[in-house]
Amino acid sequence: MRRVITFTLATLLGSAAIPASAPMAQGASVARGQGTVTHVRTTSELAAICDPAWGGVPRLEAIAYCQGFLTGFGQYHTLLYPPGGSSRPLFCVPVPGPSVAESGLAFASWARVNTQYSNEPALDSLLRWAQGSFPCASSSRSSTSRNAR
């Protein structure tokens, strides 16, 4: 059975907040692991923090930021498309679904293969990845969504 759920480590959202104490140059510090991760804009930047090539505390901060980003994305989708709602969800994560850590690594891997999206907004590519990874079966439509129209 498939249904829409949030990513399984939703509790990380609170602990994934990264202090914005150090400025970051237009993604350059994300790719090299310099400074504190305060935001990402593009697919390649999100992929770099979801599977960082650097170590130490900056690596942990990057992974926490990625997991918070993915968790917020999953929770927002669930709020827009609740189970049993009248609108068809954009993607359907199986139960049990992957952990948020597994999802981050899978997104980073997808981004490395799909370089044509590297400079697109991170959220656009995250949605593209989720739709390709977790397509909804035709039966996942709510029975009221089609009958009510």
CA dihedral (133, 88, 97, 46) positive or negative: positive
Q: Is residue 46 part of a domain?
A: yes
List, for residues 95-142, the tens digit of each pLDDT value.
Answer: 999 999 999 999 999 999 999 999 999 999 999 999 999 999 875 444
**Rounded to whole angstroms, how far apart are CA atoms 4 and 1?**
10
What average pLDDT score do residues 92-96 get?
92
> Does the pLDDT value for residue 22 go beyond 70?
no
Determine the structural domain holding residue 82 and report its residue range: 12-147
Inside any domain, residue 7: no
3-state helix vs strand vs coil in the chain, percent to 5: 55, 5, 45
Flag whether 121 is in a domain: yes
In a domain, 3, yes or no: no
Task: Specify if 20 maps to a domain.
Answer: yes
User: Which residues touch 4 (CB under 8 Å, ≥6 apart)?
Assistant: 77, 78, 81, 82, 83, 89, 91, 92, 93
The residue to which tokens 């139960």 are assigned: 95
Q: For residue 124, tell me if it sits in a domain.
A: yes
> Is residue 73 in a domain?
yes
Q: Residue 47: which pLDDT band, with cuts at 50, 70 and 90?
A: very high
Number of structural domains found in the chain: 1
Residue 1 is assigned to a structural domain of this protein: no
Instruction: Provide the whole-model pTM.
Output: 0.71
